[in-house]
Amino acid sequence: MQHRPVPSFAARILQVLALVAAWWAADTAVRWTGLPIPGGVVGLFAVLALLLSGRLPLHRIDQGAQWLLADMLVFFIPAVVAMVRYQDLLRSEGLKLAAVIVLGNACVMLTTAMTVEWIARRRRARVPAKAAS
Each residue of 55-81: pLDDT tens digit?
A: 999 999 999 988 888 887 777 777 778
CA distances from 66 to 43, 94, 111 (A): 17, 33, 20
- What pLDDT score was predicted for residue 131? 47
Residue 95: CA count within 13 A, CB half-sphere: 1
pTM over 0.75: no
The verdict on 1 and 46 lying in the same domain is yes
Per the structure, how many domains does the chain have? 2
For residue 78, the one-letter residue type is: P
Q: Which domain holds residue 66?
A: 1-70
Indicate the residue among 70, 85, 116 that finishes a domain: 70
Q: Which residues contact 22 (CB under 8 A, 6 or more apart)?
A: 43, 46, 47
